[in-house]
Amino acid sequence: MIRDLLHEIYSTLRQNKLRTALTGFAVSWGIFLLIALLGAGNGLMNSFSGNVSDFISQSISVEGWRTSKPYNGYKEGRRIDLDQRDLDYTNGSEWQGVIYNVTTTTSSTSANLVLGGKSVSGWFTGAMPEHQDQFKIKMAAGRFLNQDDMHERRKVMVISEAQAKELVSGDVEKLLGRWISAGSIAYRVVGIYHTDERDFRRSCYIPYTTYKGIYDNSDKIESITFSVNGPVTLEDHKAFEEEYGSAIKRIHDIAPDDERGIWIMNGYEENLQMTKASSILSIALWILGLLTLISGIVGVSNIMLITVKERTHEFGIRKAIGAKPGNILTLIISESITITAIFGYAGMLLGMIACQVMDKTVGQQAVDIGFDKIQMLVNPSVGLDTAMEATLLLIIAGTIAGIIPAWKAARVKPIEALRAE
Amino acid sequence: MALIELKDINKTYFGAQPLHVLKGINLSIEQGEFVSIMGASGSGKSTLLNILGILDNYDTGTYTLDGKLIKDLSEKQAADYRNRMIGFIFQSFNLISFKTAVENVELPLYYQGMSRHKRHDLAMEYLDKMGLTDWAGHFPNEMSGGQKQRVAIARALITSPRIILADEPTGALDSKTSVEVMNLLTRLNKEDGMTIIVVTHESGVANQANRIIHIKDGIIGNIEENAKHDAWGAELIK
């Protein structure tokens, strides 16, 4: 029966080649734009998330700041330093199961690294082994700090690739295991972290314990960084920050409504906002694409209406010899779906080719944004799921386009249809 | 019971001015009869034929076809009855222009859901009976009026219907072809026992029938028994 139906459709569509082609073009164009837009959008989002994923980590950092309100006998403008009490609270039972992977960093101390006749400036920061994960530090050579470094307060350090390149020419790996003097103390290089061409980070990581022993024997903590397990939505995170922040404020006698006593940087929120931004972009592109497609659907519907009117007499004949309303309905809708599907599919293929062209042209260009180079489009393409959605969309679109004309055709009485010319 | 039983059929068209076209038609037609319905235009003969063909409905009365009451049928049911019980022959042939002769003949079987090969074979058989084997692959606009009407007759016969309804079957044909087509219908009636109802305003055509029903202003006038085919106007065809 399917074959018969296809034959029926073919024989009628072949009657009106030009009309079929024009109608089909509207659909092709709609789908082409939809796919090209979605592909470009995906490319933009890929580049967006690829470019920022280097900076945004899935963690929350807390730092002391300067108060802006007087409270509890203290004047405003007081400098707040985090200390062991904050760390104890963070690690405490109250947040058991929520806060994990707690790390701290010390303040920084400037240093001049000297090797042979060359020197380079830098900042020493005392860090914990978890710091690498928390801040997504990529290693170019060697390793990051480890627990043994911490326990034994080793004099080891991890420097940036940029610094390494200034100290040795050629392969930076040569630096691994070398002792570099910084002031009166020498540190052994255990690792070099990756920095891009234009990334001039100057942080040199040494074990937290080592730093505390040499540069800062107070219990001050520059920052506390941790992961959380529990808050999911933006609202959850806001609530968490509020609760956690007010506890820290109590410890330091900061006014509860003081916005500036402590500073909380929430990487999760930035990620959530980015995800939200990309989904909004995606929705916007779908809407644009669908709107374009609608003009195609209206085109098909319009043509089908004219066709149905022209073919009224034929439907009358068909009904007289036994076609049920359902047969006529099926015929028109199938015709509509066939036009939409075939031309839509062609449009989809062209759209995918356009995505490939974009990848080969715009996708290969990097844009200089000052401190870094970014690619405008990364892998602009649509996935199989989108292709499937688009196919489904075409079938639905075809049905919608055909439904009103088909209904009209099916409803007309055979006697009236036979009279029509 | 007769094959067709009409009892007090009334039909009014409700337009700007209501038009009472059929005013109580009583008629019974037996299996194997060849009947013609004659009348001037506007007499209601076409409306009667449309009701007989389940293409149109009536307001009051009863119409029984082959023991089945034809009243208030759904479109689907009506289509099924038309397909299985009635074969139509129209003045303007009503072939589908973009289908070949054999495809046109096959179409009623397509709506019965018959397989492609079976219905093609059957359609070829009927075309052969009409002497149109060589024309099977031709489109209607490549054929003469007589050929087209024979294709239409093949299409009407292919489902082995209970009745053939012919609405001015010779209206678009020249006199020679008209005779051929009418002879064909007569032969179908005589040899195959097919019940045939022809609506016409040509007395020569009507004269081929065994019974001539005259309809005027929506009521049946006289009914002529015409077994000898010597009714008025018979000489026109000779």
Domain boundaries, given as residue ranges, for chain A: 2-53+272-419, 60-267
Mean pLDDT of B14-42: 91
Of B171, B176, B190, B194, the residue nearest B229 (C-alpha):
B190
Question: For A185-211, b where at least 16 C-beta lie within 10 A, e where not — what string?
Answer: eebebbbbbbbeeeeebbbbbbbbbbb
- pTM reported for the whole predicted model: 0.67
Which residue of B82, B96, B97 is in closest CB contact with A322? B82
Residues of chain B neighbouring A313 (CB-CB closer than 8 A)? 94
Select from B50, B97, B113 the Cβ nearest to the Cβ of A1: B113
Is A418 close to B94, i.e. CB distance below 8 A?
yes
Contact B108 A322 (CB under 8 A): yes
For an interface test with A, give the residue of B88, B98, B102 to mutate (most A CBs within 10 A): B98
Nearest CA in chain B to A14: B98
Could you tell me which residue, A339 or B153, shows the higher pLDDT? Answer: B153
The answer to whether B53 contacts A320, with C-beta atoms less than 8 Å apart, is yes
Closest CB to B56 among A325, A327, A415 = A415
The Cα–Cα gap between B78 and A161 comes to: 86
The alpha carbon of residue B207 is apart from the nearest alpha carbon of chain A, in Å, by 27
Contact across the interface for A317 and B50, Cβ inside 8 Å: no
Contact B194, B164 (CB under 8 A): yes
- Check CB contact under 8 Å for B79 and A324: yes
Q: Which two tokens stand for residue A1?
A: 């029966």
Residue B196 structural domain: 4-237
Angle, CA of B139, B173 and B163, to the nearest 5°: 80
- On chain A, the residues whose CB falls within 8 A of the CB of B83 are 321-322
Say whether B88 and A321 touch across the interface (CB within 8 A): yes
CB atoms within 10 A of CB A59: 22
Per CB-CB distance under 8 Å, the chain A contacts of B55 are 320, 413-415, 418
Contact B116 A3 (CB under 8 A): yes
ipTM score of complex = 0.92
Closest to B111 (Cβ–Cβ): which among A15, A323, A415?
A323
Contacts (Cβ under 8 Å, ≥6 apart) of A130: A101, A102, A103
Q: How confident is the model at residue A158 (pLDDT cuts 50, 70, 90)?
A: very high
Give the residue from chain A lying closest to B114, CA to CA.
A1
Q: Does the pLDDT of residue A381 top 60, yes or no? A: yes
pLDDT, one tens digit per residue, over A77-86 is 898 989 889 9
Using the beta-carbon criterion (under 8 Å), do B88 and A320 form an inter-chain contact?
yes
Smallest Cβ–Cβ distance between A323 and the set B56, B79, B88 belongs to: B79
Tell me which range, A105-119, A187-201, B17-31, B217-231, is most confidently predicted by mean pLDDT: B17-31
CB distance A11–B98 less than 8 Å? yes
Question: Which residue of A1, A314, A321 is the best one to mutate when testing the B interface, meaning the one whose CB has the most B CBs within 10 A?
Answer: A321
Chain A hits for B76, CB-CB cut-off 8 Å, are 324-326
B18-25 own/partner pairs: CB under 8 Å, 24+ apart: B20/B218, B21/B47, B21/B218, B22/B47, B22/B48, B22/B51, B22/B58, B22/B218, B23/B217, B23/B218, B23/B219, B24/B61, B24/B219, B25/B61, B25/B215, B25/B218, B25/B219, B25/B220
Is B55's CB within 8 Å of A325's CB?
Answer: no
Task: Quote the pLDDT of residue A57.
Answer: 66
The per-residue pLDDT for B62 is 95
CB atoms within 10 A of CB A163: 24
Query: What's chain B's average pLDDT?
Result: 90
Query: Rounded to a whole number, what is the distance in Å from the CA of B235 to chain A's nearest CA?
Result: 33
Q: In 3D, which of B117, B158, B120 has the Cα closest to residue B137?
A: B120
pLDDT confidence band for B147 (50 / 70 / 90): very high
Q: Residue A402: what pLDDT?
A: 86
**Beta carbons of B184 and B177 less than 8 angstroms apart:** no
pLDDT at B234: 46
CA atoms within 13 A on the CB side of A264: 22
* Number of helices followed by number of strands (H, E) in chain B: 8, 10
Query: Rounded to a whole number, what is the distance in Å from the CA of B57 to chain A's nearest CA?
Result: 10
Radius of gyration of chain B (CA): 18
Q: Look at residue B152 in the predicted model and tell me its pLDDT.
A: 95
Segment A209-215 shows an average pLDDT of: 89
Contact residues on chain A for B97, CB-CB shorter than 8 A: 314
- Amino acid letter, residue B166: A
Kindly state the tokens that stand for A86: 């904050």
User: Looking at chain A, which residue has its C-alpha nearest residue B156?
Assistant: A321
Q: Are B199 and B5 in contact (CB under 8 A)?
A: no
CATH of the domain at B196: 3.40.50.300
Q: State the Cα–Cα distance between residues B138 and B127, nearest whole angstrom.
A: 12
| Min distance B119 CA to chain A CA atoms (Å) | 12
Which range, of A299-303, B15-19, B49-53, B177-181, averages the lowest pLDDT? A299-303
The pLDDT assigned to B235 comes to: 47
How many independent structural domains does chain B possess? 1
Query: Cα angle vertex A419, ends A415, A421, to 5°?
Result: 140
Residues of B in contact with A317 (CB under 8 A): 94-96
Of B75, B107, B113, the CB nearest to A325: B75
B76 contacts A320? CB cut-off 8 A = no
